[in-house]
Each structure stands twice: as structure tokens, then as C-alpha cells.
Amino acid sequence: MAEIKLEDASRKVRDLYDKGFAAMERGNTKYAMDMLMNVLDLEPRLLVARKLLRAAQVKQFKAKNGGSMTHVISTIGGLGGVLSAKGAIKKDPAKAIKIVEKLLCTDPLNKTFINLYTEAALAADLPEAALLTLEVGREFYPKDIELLKRLGKLYLDNNLTHKGRDVYELLVALKPNDPVILKAFKDASALDTMNKGGWSEAGSYRDMIKDTGEATRLEQEAKAVKSSKDIDSLIEDSLKKIEQEPNNINYRRALADLYSRAGRMEEALQTLADAQELSGGADPQIDRAISQVKIKQFALEIAELKKAGDTDGAEAKAKEKQAFQMEDAEDRVKRYPNDLIFRFELGVLLYEGGRLNEAIQQFQQAQRNPQKRNRAQYYMAMCFKEKEQYDIALEQLEKAASEMAVLDDTKKDILYELGIICEAMDDKPRAAKYFKEIYSVDISYRDVAEKIEKSYS
């Protein structure tokens, strides 16, 4: 069961999510959890809601100063729920998830609850939810062998081979003489190498699909880099769909994407213009698609100039592209002032262009968008850092880190910058604390290993 994006959820689900998000901002974690539980009752595939729920659960648990004894008490108190969930996993995994989700509201770091939730989520075909829960557990139990084994296997089962390899590398460091772990690490490394090399499992699944035409179409759509023949075939299919449903805007957007992949930029732009006309001229997603095609068009022209040896022409075209991106982003914010993602995108361009105060204004508004909140806080802090206002930058980053339950790439960036700013403020012990948080789960992140080794020398 694939996860869905917030914008694809029903209006009722989005309204409940917004209430939960607002409650989190106000520090009302209990109400936030209630709203988010309601969201997931209606739409269990909404992973962004489950992430926010985990953050609320962990925040509330920490506020109560929960320790190891708390886990024992919660296990005893939740025994009835545990038994009910175990009994429901095979017959009704969705029900099991709801039961364990309530248990996690009382203790999100209870290993029994984490393991049971993982089992229920996998039974309900929600591997993303299982991974999220194990990742939260890993942050608090970075050396738990059994948890890491489950996480590593689940990464590999979902073709996240690089993450799986990293987990097994950590397991080897923790248990270097375990032959089972050593073999799993070798297997994970081999799978990761295959994925990086672009190898495929051609022939392994094809016999399972009786309709050869459908198999071919699925292969064409799944390829990361499509051949011109594949794209031409898909373009023909899209044109037929548009002929049958001329008012279907999504078909036109898909066709424009195919034209863009084929390098047929003018046709892509015309198709998007037709789609925008059908929408009444006010669809921000189509506007974004138009911008992306134009930017790609600039990139192709720059590449051609470089290939021809025209360095000056390439530099001039690059400046033209940069000016277009800024003007286009500013124009979209004027036309869609309430679209906070557009404000975030403009903020990034302003930050990169050194217009820090203007960038901060955009990020201050963009952080109200749940999907961009933490990244907006990160960039806002970077602006204050550039202005050497380290205390304000520190506040922004600490606030962002406290709201994130999972140590993902964004949180790693935030923790790293917290360390860098603490170093700039000559607070080396505090800097080392932040670097260690990254080091314990990702030794290869930037130069964090070097920084940790220096702190011990």
C-alpha cells in the first residue's frame, strides 16, 4: 500500500492534519496526537501524519522524563493491548496498527511496542510506517543489535540498499565476529553495488505477468533512463488518452513530462500551456512545470555551448538562466501569495544570491507549510549564520531538531550546523555532542568522523 502525499488526501484529512500541526506548534502534544490519530484512521497511507505523530509522541514522552523503568511500567500496563494486537495481526492488521499506535502514544520508545508495530505495519503492507518506527527506535537505541538487524533487513527488502549496507556495516563494527552478520553485510554491499551499477533483475518477474504488452509498458515506465523508442511509445499512448479525454489535465501534464524527457521542449511548453488554459489559467502546479521545462531548456543550451567550446556564450546563458529563475520565482509568489512552497523556493534562491534579509522573510512564512517547515527553519538559520547572528541561528536549529523524531538527512544537516555554530561560539564540548549524534548512526556523513576523532585526540 503506497504512501500518499498530503495534497492528494481528502479535504477532511487535510483539515484534521492542519489542526494537529497547529497544536504541535503551540506545544499541545496531547491534542496533536488526538487529531493525528483521527487522520490516520481515515487515511493510514499518509506517512507525513505518522511522522508528525511520532514526533508528538516522543516529545510528550521526553517531557515526562520517561526512563527505563517507565518502559517496564508501560509494558505491564499495555499487556492487554499487546495481546489484542498480536491476535489481530493476521486477521485484521489495520486494527492491530490502531491498537499499537495507541500504545506508542503512552511510550513511543518501548521496544516491545516498536517490534509489535513493525510486525503489524508489514502485515498491513505499510513498509514505510514500519521503517519510520524502527528509525525512531534506532535514534534512541543506536547499538541495539536486534533492532538494527530488523532495520537493515527491511531496508534491503524495500530496495533501500545503501541504507541497508550502512546498517550492516554498523552491525559488523558492533559484532565483528558474528558470521551471520558478516554474510549479511557482504550481501548488502553486493546489492548496493548492483544498484549503483544499474544492474537489473530482468527476466525474474516477467513470467509472472501474463500480458506481455502490459509487462513491456511497466518496464518502460519503470526505467530511470528511458530510450527514445520507449518515450516515443509512451508519448503515443498519452496522445491517445488525451484524444479520448481531452479535458483531462493530468494526461497533458504527463505528456509534457515525456516531451521534456525526449528533449522536445517547445512541444512540452505548448502542452502545458494547453493544460493551463483548461485549468482556467490558475494552476500553480502547471506553472511550476512550465518553469522546470524552461530551466531544463536553459541547461540544454548551456551544455551545447560548452560542447561547441563557446565558454563565454555558456557563461552568459548561465547568467540568463539564473536571472530567469529569480524573476520567475518572484513572479510566482506574487501570483500565488498563499502557496508556501513557492515562498520556500524563492527563499532558497535569495539565500544563494546573498539577499539574506529577503530570504529570511520568505522562510519565516514558508515554515508554516508542514512539508517544508524543518527545511525552512534550517535555511533561516543559515541566513542568520551568514549574518554572524549565531545565537538566533542556534535557536532556530534547536527548535527544528526538537520537532524531528527521525534522524533523516535534514536532521543530520541541522545537527551538523548546530555543531559548526557551537564551534564558532567556542563551545567545543557542545559541538562534539551534536557531531556524536550523527556519528552514532552515519559515520560517513561529511567530515563528522574527522571531527569526532579530533575531539578524542
Q: Residue 144 in contact with residue 137, Cβ under 8 Å?
A: yes
What is the tens place of the pLDDT at every residue in 109-150? 999 999 999 999 999 999 999 999 999 999 889 999 999 999
| Alpha carbon separation from 152 to 86, 119, 145, 162, 200 (Å, rounded) | 23, 15, 10, 10, 21
User: Which three cell numbers, joined as nine digits, stand for 386?
Assistant: 551568514
What type of residue sits at position 26? R
Q: What pLDDT is stored for residue 4 in this prediction? A: 82
What is the tens place of the pLDDT at every residue in 250-266? 889 889 989 998 889 99
What is the tens place of the pLDDT at every residue in 362-375? 999 999 888 889 99
What is the residue-averaged pLDDT of the chain? 87
What is the tens place of the pLDDT at every residue in 140-166? 899 999 999 999 999 999 889 889 999
Give the angle 147-150-154 at the CA atoms, nearest 5°. 140
Q: What is the DSSP annotation of 316-384?
A: HHHHHHHHHHHHHHHHHHHH-TT-HHHHHHHHHHHHHTT-HHHHHHHHHHHTTSTTTHHHHHHHHHHHH
Asked whether residue 267 carries a pLDDT value surpassing 70, the answer given is yes
Question: What is the distance between the alpha carbons of residues 232 and 148, in angstroms, rounded to a whole number?
Answer: 45
User: Which three cell numbers, joined as nine digits, stand for 256?
Assistant: 509534457
Which residues have CB under 8 Å from 219's CB, separation 6+?
none
Asked whether residue 224 carries a pLDDT value surpassing 80, the answer given is no
Q: What pLDDT is stored for residue 75 in this prediction? A: 85
Q: What pLDDT is stored for residue 1 in this prediction? A: 58
What is the tens place of the pLDDT at every residue in 163-191? 999 999 999 989 988 999 999 998 888 88
Confidence band for 215, pLDDT divided at 50, 70 and 90: very low
CB-based burial label for 169 (10 Å; 0-12, 13-18, 19+): middle
Q: What pLDDT is stored for residue 320 in this prediction? A: 96
Question: What is the distance between the alpha carbons of residues 1 and 125, in angstroms, rounded to a whole number?
Answer: 5
Q: Calculate mean pLDDT across residues 328-353.
A: 94
Q: What pLDDT is stored for residue 282 in this prediction? A: 75
Pick from 405, 403, 394: nearest CA to 434? 394
- Rounded to 5 degrees, φ, ψ at 401 are -60, -35
Q: Residue 431 in contact with residue 420, Cβ under 8 Å?
A: yes
For the chain, percent of residues with pLDDT exceeding 90: 60
Burial state string for 115-147 with b = 16 or more CB within 10 A and e = fewer than 16: bbbbbbbbbbebbbbbbbbbbbbbbbbbebeeb
What is the tens place of the pLDDT at every residue in 51-92? 999 999 998 888 876 566 788 888 898 899 999 999 999 999
Confidence band for 26, pLDDT divided at 50, 70 and 90: confident
Pick from 107, 53, 33, 105: nearest CA to 75? 107
Burial state string for 212-249 with b = 16 or more CB within 10 A and e = fewer than 16: eeeeeeebbeeeeebeeebbebbbebbeebbeeeeeeb
Cα 287 from chain centroid (whole Å) = 23
CATH numbers and ranges of domains, the chain: 1-140 (1.25.40), 142-200 (no CATH), 219-337 (1.25.40), 364-457 (1.25.40.10)
> How many C-beta atoms lie closer than 10 Å to residue 160's C-beta?
18
